[in-house]
Amino acid sequence: MTDTAIAVTQTAAERFTELYLETCGCSVRTHEDKLVVDVPETASTALLEPGTTTLVCSADPERTGNDRALNPESETFQELLREATTHAPVGRVDLTETDTEIRLPDWLVESDVSVASTQFQPYYDRTAVAGLFQVGVETVSEYQTQLLRVAAIDTTSHTALPALADRLLGQTTPDSTPFEANPPTIDEDVVRTSLESLQEHVVEQVEPSITEIREGATRAAHAEQEEYRQLQDQRIDELETELSRVTEKIEECSEAAEAADEQTERLAKLQERKELKTERDELQADLQELREARSRGFPEKRQEINDRHSLHVTVEPLTVTEYQYEQGELELNVSNAGDKASIRIGYGNGVGITESLDCSRCETTLSSENPLRLHNDEICCTHCHPHTT
Ligand SMILES: [Zn+2]
């Protein structure tokens, strides 16, 4: 399975810019390290003037010259993210006519099994919605990360369409046909409910990244709490030393007062003892307070540290694209070393397979990590049959 959660790298910034501008109705061509953007009058972006703009995919000012630079830190990219989060344009792409090339599933691409023939039989017209999301993870103190994530679902069944999501974030080649953005046909309610489902999918899918960041933040909070506890222990030691010193001096004063011959000297010692006793009471009160807080594990401080390290996760849609596609069945005739099989699986034109396939022995779902094997003309996984016989 491809991990489509990616930190904002150069490639992600380029791919995202292309998707966003296309959704806004622009047409984007890749030329060497440049994106050439044709912006029509009707484009729903205020970022670029109508006409043709060249974006140079580089952070090197010598290469960008007078053109706009496009890289994760560039002004253009940051403006684009800002516009996208406030705007989240909705576009439409029709996959049925332009996208007839069969997209083989990962578990077949990664397998030794060869494909003898493919046949796609379309049954119904369906609508998919893909959303590009910006996932922000931050803590009050310092940690912050940004992920871009694509998710796609069928609007009727709300099932995830990972092959379509992968395709949207995949690398484009210079000769790939640009998407033709069209006005959307789905109504706002469908967009809203689809977005909710998509956001749930996104949160579910970025969970491992969030867990990792959360664990890091928790470790940092624990280290800080431990440091605080050690400082307080040190403070308790200091107070105890100070207390025994004062107690000793009180004893000395009592003895001196008793042994004094002169009335004035005796009174002076008694006065000194009184002041020392006040000091001792204060020290005892401080010490008791600290020891109590320590036995309860410094709850206020712990809360304050935890709050400072707690995670704030946001999932913002950047673009929403409607895809019209044909849902049907794909027949795959596959063979390997004398074994052969015919597989029929749910498939959408331009969307890829819409169903998973299980190993007939262990019932594990086939994946790029555990691709297809054939054994006695049966569909198996690589774990069940690691070596082709
Ligand atoms: Zn198996």
- The CA distance from 202 to 169, in Å, is 14
H helix or E strand, kind and range, residue 368: none
Query: What is the Å distance from ligand 1's center to 360 Cα?
Result: 7
Query: What is the Å distance from ligand 1's center to 375 Cα?
Result: 11
H helix or E strand, kind and range, residue 114: strand 114-139
Query: What is the Å distance from ligand 1's center to 333 Cα?
Result: 20
Query: What is the Å distance from ligand 1's center to 12 Cα?
Result: 35
The confidence band for 153, taking pLDDT boundaries of 50, 70 and 90, is: very high
pLDDT at 313: 84
- The CA distance from 117 to 83, in Å, is 46
Query: What is the Å distance from ligand 1's center to 340 Cα?
Result: 17
pLDDT at 244: 96
Q: Does the pLDDT value for residue 100 go beyond 80?
A: no
Query: What is the Å distance from ligand 1's center to 374 Cα?
Result: 11
Query: What is the Å distance from ligand 1's center to 153 Cα?
Result: 28
pLDDT at 322: 87
Query: What is the Å distance from ligand 1's center to 345 Cα?
Result: 18
Query: What is the Å distance from ligand 1's center to 337 Cα?
Result: 19
Query: What is the Å distance from ligand 1's center to 203 Cα?
Result: 30
- Angle among Cα 139, 16, 194 to the nearest 5 degrees reads 80
**Most confident of the following: 133-147, 237-251, 336-350:** 237-251
Q: Does the pLDDT value for residue 187 go beyond 50?
A: yes
107-126 tens-digit pLDDT: 999 999 999 999 999 999 99
The b/e string for 153-176 (b: 16+ C-beta within 10 A; e otherwise) is bbbeeeebbbbbbbbbbeebeeee
Is 331 strand, coil or helix? strand
Q: Provide φ and ψ at 151, rounded to 5°.
A: -135, 150
The CA-atom distances, in angstroms, between 290 and each of 76, 166, 227, 234, 277 are 54, 57, 16, 11, 20
H helix or E strand, kind and range, residue 53: strand 51-56
Range with lowest mean pLDDT among 75-79, 118-122, 171-175, 196-200: 171-175
Query: What is the Å distance from ligand 1's center to 379 Cα?
Result: 9
Q: Which two tokens stand for residue 46?
A: 């205020």
Query: What is the Å distance from ligand 1's center to 358 Cα?
Result: 8
The residue-averaged pLDDT of 305-314 equals 85
Angle between helices 188-259 and 299-309 (to 10 degrees): 150
133 contacts 316 by C-beta, under 8 angstroms: yes
pLDDT at 321: 85
Query: What is the Å distance from ligand 1's center to 108 Cα?
Result: 15
DSSP-derived secondary structure for 256-291: HHHH-SSHHHHHHHHHHHHHHHHHHHHHHHHHHHHH
The CA-atom distances, in angstroms, between 138 and each of 141, 145, 210, 312, 324 are 8, 6, 10, 5, 36
pLDDT at 6: 46
Query: What is the Å distance from ligand 1's center to 332 Cα?
Result: 19
Q: How many other C-beta atoms are found inside a 10 Å radius of the C-beta of residue 185?
A: 11
Query: What is the Å distance from ligand 1's center to 382 Cα?
Result: 7
333 contacts 116 by C-beta, under 8 angstroms: yes
H helix or E strand, kind and range, residue 307: helix 299-309
Query: What is the Å distance from ligand 1's center to 356 Cα?
Result: 14
Query: What is the Å distance from ligand 1's center to 236 Cα?
Result: 62
Q: In the chain, what are the domain boundaries?
A: 6-96+136-217+312-318, 220-307
Query: What is the Å distance from ligand 1's center to 342 Cα?
Result: 18
The CA-atom distances, in angstroms, between 243 and each of 229, 232, 247 are 21, 16, 6
323-340 tens-digit pLDDT: 888 899 999 999 998 899
Percent of the chain topping pLDDT 70: 91
CA atoms within 13 A on the CB side of 43: 23
Helix ranges (H only) for 170-262 are 188-259
The confidence band for 253, taking pLDDT boundaries of 50, 70 and 90, is: very high
Q: What is the rounded average pLDDT for all residues in the chain?
A: 86
Query: What is the Å distance from ligand 1's center to 370 Cα?
Result: 9
Eight-state DSSP code of residue 358: B
pTM: 0.68
Query: What is the Å distance from ligand 1's center to 368 Cα?
Result: 14
The residue-averaged pLDDT of 200-223 equals 86
- The CA distance from 68 to 34, in Å, is 10
Query: What is the Å distance from ligand 1's center to 387 Cα?
Result: 13
Query: What is the Å distance from ligand 1's center to 361 Cα?
Result: 5
CA atoms within 13 A on the CB side of 35: 29
- The CA distance from 283 to 285, in Å, is 5
Q: Which two tokens stand for residue 60?
A: 């090197």
- The CA distance from 135 to 204, in Å, is 12
